[in-house]
Amino acid sequence: MSDIDVDHFRALLEARRIELRALSDAAKDSRKPVELDQQSVGRLSRQDALQQQAMAKAQDARRVNELRKIEAALSRIDEGEYGYCAECGEAIAPKRLQVDLTATRCAACAA
């Protein structure tokens, strides 16, 4: 048995999931297609807008990726596998999980 407090990590994972979903909702506006009307938007500000949109997309991709890892961690909790290294099966140090809630490998295997 692992000595980690699974409920504690489940609560942290669920809180992070809520936070990510809220951020994603808040970012929806910035992902709208860039307005291509050259008369109302100057060339430079259009480039700015495109750049901002690209950044917003990259951020969104990172959020989606993190959400996926969180979902996977939550199902590992349900299956009683959370906190164990996917490679060697040893318990992952709680300190490591605190830093990365979705860690799937122990420090030795990740290195």
Q: Is residue 97 a contact point for Zn ion (CB under 5 A)?
A: no
Burial class from Cβ neighbours inside 10 Å (0-12, 13-18, 19+) for residue 92 reads: buried
Alpha carbon separation from 24 to 1, 10, 27, 100 (Å, rounded): 36, 21, 5, 20
Q: Which CB, 42 or 89, lies closer to Zn ion?
A: 89
Q: What is the C-alpha to C-alpha distance for residues 24 and 60, in angstroms, rounded to an integer?
A: 7
Q: Is residue 91 a contact point for Zn ion (CB under 5 A)?
A: no
What is the closest distance, in whole angstroms, from the C-beta atom of residue 53 to Zn ion in the complex? Answer: 40
Which of 22, 23, 50, 88 forms a contact with Zn ion (CB under 5 A)? Answer: 88
- Written as six digits, the tokens of 49 are 């807008």
Q: Which CB, 17 or 69, lies closer to Zn ion?
A: 69
What is the closest distance, in whole angstroms, from the C-beta atom of residue 65 to Zn ion in the complex? Answer: 22
8 A C-beta contact, residue 70 and residue 16: yes
What is the closest distance, in whole angstroms, from the C-beta atom of residue 27 to Zn ion in the complex? Answer: 35
Chain residues in the site for Zn ion (CB under 5 A): 85, 87-88, 106, 109
